[in-house]
Amino acid sequence: MTDEDDVSDASPQPLTFPLPDVPASQGPPSIPFPMLLDFSIQKTYQDLTVLVELSPKKSDIERKVSIVQFAFSARQLFIRLLAVVKWARSGTKFDVCTAITCYLDQQASTFVDTADRLFAMSRDVLSQALLPSFQIPAAVDVLSLGKYLRLPLHIKNRFITEETVSPKEQRSVLNRMNQVIENRLFSIIKLIPRPMRNFSVRNGTVKFCVLGEFEVSATLLGQRPSTPWTLLNLKILVEDTRLSDGADLLHPTQTTLLHQLLQTR
């Protein structure tokens, strides 16, 4: 068998870590064995001295009983002391258990202290800490679409020029808008009051003018029959020189409110 086989057959040794020393303030209470032995000898000597002093005053039977009681108590005391000596031979195991208990107590105290400190930190320090606003929509766009569509428009306008509409295209669009407006007006011509039937369609808008009353410009933003009219301009033509001295009868704010009211209907 080679050396490599010997190495492979050898079982791995478990890792051992030294246990911490048990402080004097922790662990079970203990007493040195010499002190315990000294206490036992002093107690036995004291009991023997008392027995010697009291024996002359007792009868023969009482002396015998006292001697037996002294011998029995002394024997029990030293038997216990012998048991302690035999137990002390395996005291290293008890020391290991004491060290383990002390280590676990230290760990528990550390965990409790850590929890207390974290709670105090969350209450006093972290309550004022704020995280930045993470750009989650931007990250989703980049990861899913491979491009970012949320740049401000002024950046886009700065680097990307929009295609301009040619005059020919403008005329084509305006002519198409005129056709759509005329078709809509002719379809509802019977619903238009007679004073308003004098209208003109030009540049994609229709202008209704009732002399001495009002002038309205409107347009359509789509080709569907359900597309509502969009009011562009409203002008009141009513005049009264006696009240306004040639000025408009309605304030611009009143005209704006009237414009908004008509647009909602």
Distance of CA 258 to the CA centre of its chain: 51
As a whole number of angstroms, the distance between CA 153 and CA 145 comes to: 19
Please give the pLDDT value at position 1.
47
Contact 169, 161 (CB under 8 A): no
Residue type, 220: L
Sequence-ordered alpha helix ranges (H) in the chain: 3-9, 33-54, 60-88, 91-124, 136-145, 153-159, 167-187, 241-244, 252-263
State pTM to two decimals: 0.36
Please give the pLDDT value at position 256.
81
Query: In terms of Cα–Cα distance, which of 74, 76, 66 is closest to 43?
Result: 74
Between strands 229-236 and 199-202, the pairing is unpaired
Report domain extents, the chain: 33-129, 192-264
Please give the pLDDT value at position 72.
92
Taken as a whole, the chain contains a residue count of: 265
Question: Reduced to 3 states, what is the DSSP secondary structure of residue 231?
Answer: strand
Contact 199, 206 (CB under 8 A): yes
Please give the pLDDT value at position 123.
84
As a whole number of angstroms, the distance between CA 56 and CA 52 comes to: 8
Look up residue 60 and give its two tokens.
Answer: 């023969």
Please give the pLDDT value at position 232.
84
As a whole number of angstroms, the distance between CA 139 and CA 150 comes to: 11
Residue with tokens 């009264």: 240
pLDDT per residue as tens, the chain (265 positions):
455 554 445 555 554 656 667 666 665 667 777 888 888 899 899 988 988 888 888 888 888 888 899 899 999 999 988 888 888 777 667 777 777 888 888 889 899 999 999 898 888 877 777 777 788 888 888 888 888 877 777 877 777 777 777 888 888 888 888 888 888 888 888 888 888 878 888 888 888 888 878 888 888 888 888 888 888 888 877 776 666 565 666 777 877 887 777 777 7
Look up residue 213 and give its two tokens.
Answer: 């009353």
Between strands 229-236 and 205-210, the pairing is unpaired
As a whole number of angstroms, the distance between CA 248 and CA 244 comes to: 7
